[in-house]
Chain A
Amino acid sequence: EADIYQTPRYLVIGTGKKITLECSQTMGHDKMYWYQQDPGMELHLIHYSYGVNSTEKGDLSSESTVSRIRTEHFPLTLESARPSHTSQYLCASSGGDRGRQPQHFGDGTRLSIL
């Protein structure tokens, strides 16, 4: 079992609020990722990190920001939530150098902005 945790599992919040989605992993993985997924649709990479103090934007433009101050922690922040941010957000991590290692996913955060 992969040890990657996301909190909260569900969040319903009003427009304009600042939100931080938490993601932590205990596997010592250097690479971490955030994906956005609308219901029944494919995953889109919005942020990723090679390691501490490294963050990059993914393929899908997002108004969110991320930080990687510790290896195990990769939080995602929305400064001012809007209804268009309503989606599921999935955090993942992977280790190793050969590319065969799968990404391990957390259970996701289902975000609903009213």
Chain B
Amino acid sequence: AQKITQTQPGMFVQEKEAVTLDCTYDTSDPSYGLFWYKQPSSGEMIFLIYQGSYDQQNATEGRYSLNFQKARKSANLVISASQLGDSAMYFCAMREGTGFQKLVFGTGTRLLVSP
């Protein structure tokens, strides 16, 4: 079974609108962490936001927030007030356990922001 599932191959949003990128995960470990990364066409991976399984509040970082629904095993990324520079691939990733920080990545969602 896929550990990380991103069901949206591509998403379109207009500038200044909000967009939600979906991510569901599968783990039996009670301790885990979820990361979102942005990959522009230039290829580098840029860390956006982190949510720990024991965190009481949903993570926020500037225009990025994470809609964490533990019972549904979902960790959707919300980007508010989209900008043209947000056009990129977005990857959800999971770390299981508290030890070594090995990440498993989803297949990604390509976001295109139009003027």
- Please report A residues at the B interface, Cβ cutoff 8 Å: 31, 33, 40-45, 48, 50, 58-59, 88, 90, 92, 94, 98-108, 110
* A102→B50 contact, CB < 8 A: yes
Which range holds the interface residue count of chain B? 20 to 34
The 7 A-B pairs of least Cβ separation, nearest first, read: A105-B45, A102-B47, A108-B43, A42-B105, A43-B105, A107-B44, A42-B107
* Contacts A41-B107, A98-B98, A108-B43 known; 20 new A-B pairs at CB < 8 A: A40-B110, A42-B91, A42-B106, A42-B107, A43-B45, A43-B105, A48-B100, A99-B97, A99-B99, A99-B101, A100-B50, A103-B103, A104-B47, A105-B45, A105-B47, A107-B43, A107-B44, A108-B44, A108-B45, A110-B43
The one of B31, B95, B102 that contacts A48, using a Cβ cutoff of 8 Å: B102
Q: Which residues of the other chain, A, contact B103 by a CB distance below 8 angstroms?
A: 43, 45, 103
Question: Closest CB of chain B to A93's CB: distance in Å?
Answer: 10
Question: Closest CB of chain A to B109's CB: distance in Å?
Answer: 11
* A94→B43 contact, CB < 8 A: no
A98 to B95, CA, bound (A): 11
- Please report B residues at the A interface, Cβ cutoff 8 Å: 31, 33, 35, 37, 42-47, 50, 52, 89, 91, 95, 97-108, 110
A58 to B103, CA, bound (A): 10
